[in-house]
Amino acid sequence: MALTGLQIYKLLPQTNCKECGFPTCLAFAMKLAAKQAELAACPYVSEASKQQLEAASAPPVRLITLSTDGRKVESGNEIVLFRHEKTFYHPVPIFVRVKDTDADLAAKAKELDAFAVDYVGIKLHLDGIAIENASGDPAQFAAAVEAVRGAVGMPLIFIAKDPAAFEAAMAKANGAIPLLYAADASNWQAMADIAKKSKAPLAVKGDGTLESLANLAEQIKAAGVEDLVLDPGARGFLDTLTLATQIRRLAIKKNFRLLGYPIITFPGEGVASSDEEPVLAVQQIGKYAGFIVLDHFTPARAYALLVLRQNIYTDPQKPIQVKPGLYEINSPKPESPVLVTTNFSITYFAVSNEVEGAGLPAWLLVADAEGMSVLTAWAAGKFDADRIAKGVKTTSVESKISRKRLVLPGVVAVLMGEVEEALPGWQIEVGPREAIDIPAFLKLKP
């Protein structure tokens, strides 16, 4: 049975040395109880305490890290089944598979690395490249790895069947820590040796049953490999969903360590056509992939998957927000109006996009409303005359303008009188209720 934070605290040295990265031993104990920290972070815990704390010392899903040239992706450390219970911590990394038989791998790698989209101020991009030894030739595989490494610094997954191919590929990895895919019942001993030697995470592929997957993971772990990724062997919609859910439940609810690792999925292998691949990928992002390897890349499909992932892996208790401050739109002049809104990302981009798209110059004053929308913030007392006046003073907007004209959102017209009192000498106006009407308003009242 898992220990509580106070029970764990009693077993710690209680020195408050801060070497674990937390301010007190009690804070560290609470993180251990929540399975958000590892006991190894405490350098002074006794061996006797270590034995008692084993069940509470590690998250139920082990954290796996892949890195290349300082760029890294992480998967694992999740502690809940559903994001509304707390939150999900590590967005599932999305890789695209290339093969060592493909032409011009360097150009393809650069295309994948260059893909990026802006979503409410957040830069979304692919996480890495999976390189497959489709030729079966270790030398050709090594050449493919060298070509990709020379072109980009994205995290990598190596896919092969022959252990010799991994040895050849690691010789060209140039310091990268890739995921090695995969060890199965026929080659696990050789693969475990390579993973230990290269200090790289190892994927474990089962035959479609959790019992065989757990047994294989146990053997590889006993051989000295701690960082594992699980492939249950399922590929279709139903089997993937069933096994992934069972693995996640066993890891989190039952603390079953042998299945307490991220899951890797290949949605392109489980569908009848490439058109169904993103549909299966959507399912796997929600339930419960740790790494996803796509076989087909198009900007439109990647965009949809990345936006979905971003929405699922945001903290449901913390709204997406932008930094409060003064923003310039279309090179505003001293006589341009000052628009006011809150720092809720969707509200900010709704206003700024409409004004920018219309080609109208304006100053946009973003008040700190703790990430709430205008009407919600006003109702909660987080967007009022005092906050607006504070924003005007802290941003020094007065020094940038010659005409003190401030436009309030139409949904909070009730604040007009209070803002006039808080900002004497300013011309306070009430703008439209909807962002889409702002351009027409500014053209009517330039």
Instruction: Tell me the sheet residues that pair with 203.
Output: 229
Tell which residue, 101, 183, 186, 88, has the closest CA to residue 144: 101
The reported pLDDT for the residue numbered 316 is 83
Pairing of strands 338-342, 228-231: unpaired
> Checking DSSP bridges between strand 94-99 and strand 264-265, what pairing results, if any?
unpaired
Q: What is the per-residue pLDDT for 445?
A: 78
Cβ–Cβ contacts within 10 Å for residue 292, how many? 25
3-state secondary structure 133-193: CCCCCHHHHHHHHHHHHHHCCCCEEEECCCHHHHHHHHHCCCCCECEEEEECCCCHHHHHH
407: nearest Cα among 370, 433, 369: 433
Place of tokens 């941003």: 395
The DSSP-derived string for 262-298 is -BEE-GGGSSSSGGGHHHHHHHHHHTT-SEEEES---
The predicted structure's pLDDT at residue 150: 96
- On whether the CB atoms of residues 62 and 89 are closer than 8 A, the answer is no
Give yes or no for a contact between 150 and 106, defined as CB atoms under 8 angstroms apart. Answer: yes
Q: What percentage of residues in the chain have a pLDDT greater than 70?
A: 98
- Between the alpha carbon of residue 198 and those of residues 115, 160, 174, 302, 375, the distances in Å are 30, 16, 11, 31, 55
| Residue ranges with strand state E in 202-243 | 202-205, 228-231
Instruction: Enter the CATH code of domain 64-312.
Output: 3.20.20.20
Between CA 88 and CA 79 the distance in angstroms is 8
Residues in the chain: 446
Domains of the chain, residue spans? 5-53, 64-312, 325-444
Q: What's the pLDDT score for residue 31?
A: 87
Output the DSSP codes for 382-413: SSSHHHHHHHHHHTTGGGG-SS-EEEE-GGGG
- Quick check: helix, strand or coil at residue 6? helix
Cα–Cα distance for residue pair 315/36, rounded to 1 Å: 15
Distance CA 330, CA 336 (A): 10
pLDDT score at 255: 85
pLDDT band (50, 70, 90) for residue 5:
confident
Beta bridge partners of 427: 405
Please report the DSSP string for 73-89 in residue order: EEE-----SSTTTS---
Compute the average pLDDT of residues 281-286.
97
Within this chain, domains 5-53 and 325-444 share the same CATH topology: no
Does residue 49 sit in helix, strand or coil? helix
Pair 133, 162: CB distance under 8 Å:
yes
What is the pLDDT confidence band of residue 47, given thresholds at 50, 70 and 90?
A: confident
pLDDT at 56 over 80: no
* Cis amide bond preceding 56, omega within 30: no
Closest CA to 166 of 135, 133, 210: 133
Give the up-direction half-sphere exposure of residue 388: CA atoms within 13 A in the CB hemisphere.
29
Check: CB of residue 247 under 8 Å from CB of residue 230.
Answer: yes
What is the rounded distance in angstroms from the CA atom of residue 160 to the CA atom of residue 147? 17
pLDDT of 57: 60
Q: What tens digit of pLDDT does each residue of 58-88 get?
A: 688 999 999 999 999 999 999 899 988 888 9
- Which of the listed ranges 32-41, 116-125, 296-305 does the model predict with the highest average pLDDT? 296-305
Confidence tier at 50 by pLDDT (50, 70, 90): confident
Mean pLDDT, the chain, integer: 94
pLDDT at 215 over 60: yes
From CA 262, how far away is CA 293, in angstroms rounded?
Answer: 13
Over residues 89-125, the pLDDT tens digits come to: 999 999 999 999 999 999 999 999 999 998 877 899 9
Contact (CB, 8 A) for 120 and 144: no
Give the mean pLDDT of 331-347. 94
Cα 285 from chain centroid (whole Å): 11
Q: With 80 as the cut, is the pLDDT of residue 3 above it?
A: no
Backbone phi, psi, residue 3, to 5°: -90, 155
Instruction: Give the integer Cα–Cα distance in Å for 38 and 31.
Output: 9
User: Quick check: 277 and 271 in contact, CB under 8 A?
Assistant: yes
In this prediction, residues 32-55 reach a mean pLDDT of 82
Helix (H, G, I), strand (E, B) or coil at 339: strand
3 state DSSP class of 325: strand
Q: Is CATH 3.40.50.720 the right assignment for the domain spanning 5-53?
A: no
Q: What pLDDT was estimated at residue 306?
A: 97
- Tell me, what's the pLDDT at 32? 84
Q: Which CATH class is domain 325-444?
A: alpha beta
